[in-house]
């Protein structure tokens, strides 16, 4: 499990697809392999715990909340060989350069985030991170309408689909969002 060169791995998909669980699984494996791990998350994500990445299923891992991606470089410890970044869709575009620089320095960079926003459109820096990555894993949830595989995140406002012109970033969990398949994902204009 030792890595000899840097890389970027992206774990993406809709909400409730298990992205953070998979990130935590990889972080735990790196820790077992005695690799120095540091994890960062956007400070905006305070759904479960401020200084942890936490999955909807309840798994968690210590993390440093940051306001800007540039903070990763200033808070990175010299012996760190694995960097985890959760909810990367909320990061500024500087995360692209930070991930690239870390990988070029020999760091294994694990990135988890939504690949699409509630509209079904590419979300923040995720598309670029996905294109630069050595590995991309797209996870799927279960559609809350039909039970098929879900690849989209449905935002709900008072139980109805959010409108296209609603704000893109609203942090929430099952009280605001559902996983949906392509057919049952609705975004009224």
Q: What is the pLDDT of residues 45-61, one digit of tens each?
A: 656 566 778 877 778 88
Cross-strand pairs, 42:
66
Identify the domain containing residue 86 by its residue range. Answer: 7-139
Neighbours of 78 (CB within 10 A): 5
Within a domain: 151: no
Q: What is the pLDDT of residues 141-174, one digit of tens each?
A: 999 999 999 999 999 988 899 999 998 888 766 6
Confidence check: pLDDT of 8 > 80: yes
Q: Is residue 149 a part of any domain in this protein?
A: no
Q: How far are the Cα atoms of 35, 143, 157, 162, 188 from residue 86, in angstroms, in the given order? A: 19, 23, 25, 25, 29
Name the token pair of 113: 């985030």
- pLDDT surpassing 80 at residue 4: no
In a domain, 14, yes or no: yes
| CATH code of the domain in which 81 resides | 3.40.50.300
Does residue 66 fall inside a structural domain? yes
Number of domains in the chain: 1
Q: Per the structure block, which two tokens stand in for 25?
A: 């699984």
Does residue 104 belong to any structural domain of this protein?
yes
- Rounded CA-CA distance 122/116 in Å is 4
Q: What is the mean pLDDT of residues 125-143?
A: 98
Asked if 87 and 112 count as a contact pair (C-beta separation under 8 A), the reply is: yes
What is the pTM (predicted TM-score) of this model? 0.92
DSSP-derived secondary structure letter, 89: G
Residue 176 located in a structural domain: no
Across all residues in the chain, what is the average pLDDT?
92
pLDDT digits (tens, 9 = 90+) for 113-124: 999 999 999 999
Q: In what order do the strands lie in the sheet with 82-85?
A: 64-66, 37-42, 82-85, 108-114, 7-13, 135-139
Question: Is residue 184 domain-resident?
Answer: no
Give, as one character, the DSSP assignment of residue 88: G
Residue 153 lies in a domain: no
Supply the residues annotated as catalytic: 87
């Amino acid at each position: 499990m030792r890595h000899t060169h840097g890389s970027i791995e992206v774990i993406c998909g809709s909400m409730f697809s298990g992205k953070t669980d998979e990130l935590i699984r990889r972080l735990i494996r790196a820790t077992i392999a005695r690799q120095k791990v540091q994890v960062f998350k956007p400070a905006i994500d305070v759904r479960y715990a401020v200084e942890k990445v936490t999955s909807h299923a309840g798994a968690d891992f210590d993390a440093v909340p940051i306001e800007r991606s540039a903070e990763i470089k200033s808070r990175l410890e010299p012996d760190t060989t694995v960097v985890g970044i959760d909810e990367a869709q909320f990061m500024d575009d500087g995360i692209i350069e930070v991930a690239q620089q870390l990988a070029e320095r020999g760091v294994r960079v694990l990135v988890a985030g939504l690949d699409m926003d509630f509209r079904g459109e590419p979300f923040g820096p995720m598309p670029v991170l996905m294109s630069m990555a050595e590995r991309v894993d797209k996870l799927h949830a279960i559609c809350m309408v039909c039970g098929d595989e879900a690849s989209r995140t449905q935002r709900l406002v008072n139980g109805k689909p959010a409108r296209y012109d609603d704000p893109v970033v609203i942090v929430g969990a099952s009280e605001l969002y559902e996983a949906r398949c392509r057919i049952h994902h609705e975004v009224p204009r």
